Structure 1
């Protein structure tokens, strides 16, 4: 993803992301825009959350954790390196930090905290606001290499980061975002997914329906346990993919070795393809 773009301009679910009981689990970083609700607990490398983000469970990060002001975590926060907790944040369980703790005023930690390193009490600028102001300044100066280094230090490699856009709602029943969405390969997800558009990679299991305003692409070997619906866009279903529900769309591009268990409603053109033939109906 270009650092000239907005890092939070789409939902990104990296390869091998899973929902395990009540936790959202990924090997990479987790980046969540402000004023979002994530009813899961989360487990990943670094966790960064914007202001007023609500977590329905615990946070476990093997590296740093940065929670901006007014964040509300219903469970514990367990941090493998350093932590920044913004002012007036609330943690319903215990805070355990293996490194340094940078904490704002009026933070409520119901079951106490432990920090192995330095503890600093102050109210710096929220992490995500500071990061993008700093990146914008570097880019205006033409320091693109320096900006890339800063982005990688804070956000890790974009290819393996789980990104939830600002103002989203994620739960076991529903993933609701107003931006486009991209799902990697080998994921196992629960909940209906609502987005502006969706690209779903290969060999995924999605236990819910897909609904967008624009296009939906379903990769090889992916199984959708629900309906696939788009108002105006094209639905593309690759070889070996399965939709265990209905498809409603404008145009449909269907591989002849894909499986659709329900009804197909295409208001526009329907194409059936294989490796050598493209047939239009």
Structure 2
């Protein structure tokens, strides 16, 4: 992530994110801006929440968990590494931490807490303030690489493998709707519940959204995605990729529909509708690239097997040639023996005639 960028300037949902039994599940980290509401439980690698974030379920973090002051968690908080709990945080269940625990004043944990490491009672600095102060000092002394390393560490050791979920400040996320006042980007192979409301929207490939999409600006829906609702934009255009299915209506200024896409409802376009055969997303199709790479590997393996089979056949032919040589030699020896026996018989006959 570039140092100069604002990580919470959009709603970002990475590849493979799913909603399972009222839990938001991802392989990467979850970073939530202040004064947001998340009605789901959250399961991820590390969970970081700014001030006054409310969770309607439990939190399960394989790595660290950091809850700034005035956060509210309705259920349990389970942490695989270290936990940082700010002052006046409320946890409706129990808190279990496998590592160290930094906990602030006036924290309310209804069912108690347990930590296997050190327990320090103090007020941890709010996450955003801590990052801002630390990064500004590193950049001030010219330690750009150290600043980048800090950001990578905060996002987890596998940040390059799994992008984090980013929820902007003041967002509302629930089974009913995802509401943000920023652009939204959804990755590939996601399964989401609820209507999505954003400034603009880009939905990746092979997703299933159990709800509608609504934005003020442009909406792009990638290949093979299924939208079980309407797609609406107030002032922008809608672009629909190949193999996409929209169960409801599409309303936009201009609609660009792929010839292989399906729309069950009505299309309302103030400036017209255009059919096309192009890909609508600029980002690479990682699944297609992976399939192509797999096909190349299978082709290489097949070529190697064919080469090994040919080598084995050549070896068998050579072995057959070596076996036939002794048999030919044996036949030659038999012929020589017969010739010798015939010569001996002729000699005996000549000797008998001479005696007579």
**What range describes the TM-score normalised by the shorter chain of this pair?**
over 0.9
| Structure 2: stretches of 5+ with no match in the other structure | 280-356
Pick closer, same or farther for the CA change 1:141–1:196 going to 2, 3 Å: farther
Identify which range, 123-132 or 173-182, moves more after superposition: 123-132
Name the SS of the counterpart of 1:160 in structure 2.
Answer: coil
Q: Deviations over 1:123-177 (max 9, x none)?
A: 1320122113322333344432221111111123275101100100000000000
| 1:71 partnered with 2:95 | no
Q: Structure 2-normalised TM-score?
A: 0.76
Q: Structure 1-normalised TM-score?
A: 0.95
Q: Deviations over 1:224-261 (max 9, x none)?
A: 00000001111110000111100000111111000111
Structure 1 residue 269: deviation in Å? 3.7
2:27 is aligned to 27
1:176 is aligned to 179
1:273 is aligned to 276
Q: Work out the CA distance in 1 between the residues paired with 2:176 and 2:208.
A: 15
| 1:162 partnered with 2:162 | no
Q: Work out the CA distance in 2 between the residues paired with 1:127 and 1:99.
A: 19
Name the SS of the counterpart of 1:148 in structure 2.
Answer: helix
1:86 is aligned to 86
2:16 is aligned to 16
| Structure 1: stretches of 5+ with no match in the other structure | 277-281
Q: Deviations over 1:198-247 (max 9, x none)?
A: 11000000000000010111000000000000011111100001111000
Q: Kindly indicate which of the two structures has a greater share of residues assigned to strand.
A: 1
2:257 is aligned to 254
Pick closer, same or farther for the CA change 1:177–1:247 going to 2, 3 Å: same
Name the SS of the counterpart of 2:105 in structure 1.
Answer: coil
Query: Pairwise mapping of residues 233-244 of structure 1 onto structure 2 (< 5 A)?
Result: 233-244=236-247
Q: Work out the CA distance in 2 between the residues paired with 1:80 and 1:271.
A: 52
Q: Work out the CA distance in 1 between the residues paired with 2:7 and 2:46.
A: 15
Please say which structure displays the higher CA radius of gyration: 2
Q: Work out the CA distance in 2 between the residues paired with 1:142 and 1:208.
A: 47
Query: Pairwise mapping of residues 134-145 of structure 1 onto structure 2 (< 5 A)?
Result: 134-145=134-145
1:264 is aligned to 267
Name the SS of the counterpart of 2:251 in structure 1.
Answer: strand
Q: Work out the CA distance in 2 between the residues paired with 1:16 and 1:275.
A: 25
Q: Work out the CA distance in 1 between the residues paired with 2:195 and 2:75.
A: 25
Name the SS of the counterpart of 2:169 in structure 1.
Answer: coil
Quick check: 2:103–2:124 contact (8 Å CA) kept in 1?
Answer: no
Identify which range, 57-66 or 133-142, moves more after superposition: 133-142
Identify which range, 248-257 or 77-86, moves more after superposition: 248-257
| 1:127 partnered with 2:127 | yes
| 1:55 partnered with 2:59 | no
Number of residues paired by the alignment? 276
| 1:215 partnered with 2:218 | yes
The structure with higher relative contact order (CA 8 Å, sep 6+) is 1
Query: Pairwise mapping of residues 194-213 of structure 1 onto structure 2 (< 5 A)?
Result: 194-213=197-216
Identify which range, 236-245 or 131-140, moves more after superposition: 131-140
Q: Work out the CA distance in 2 between the residues paired with 1:187 and 1:46.
A: 20
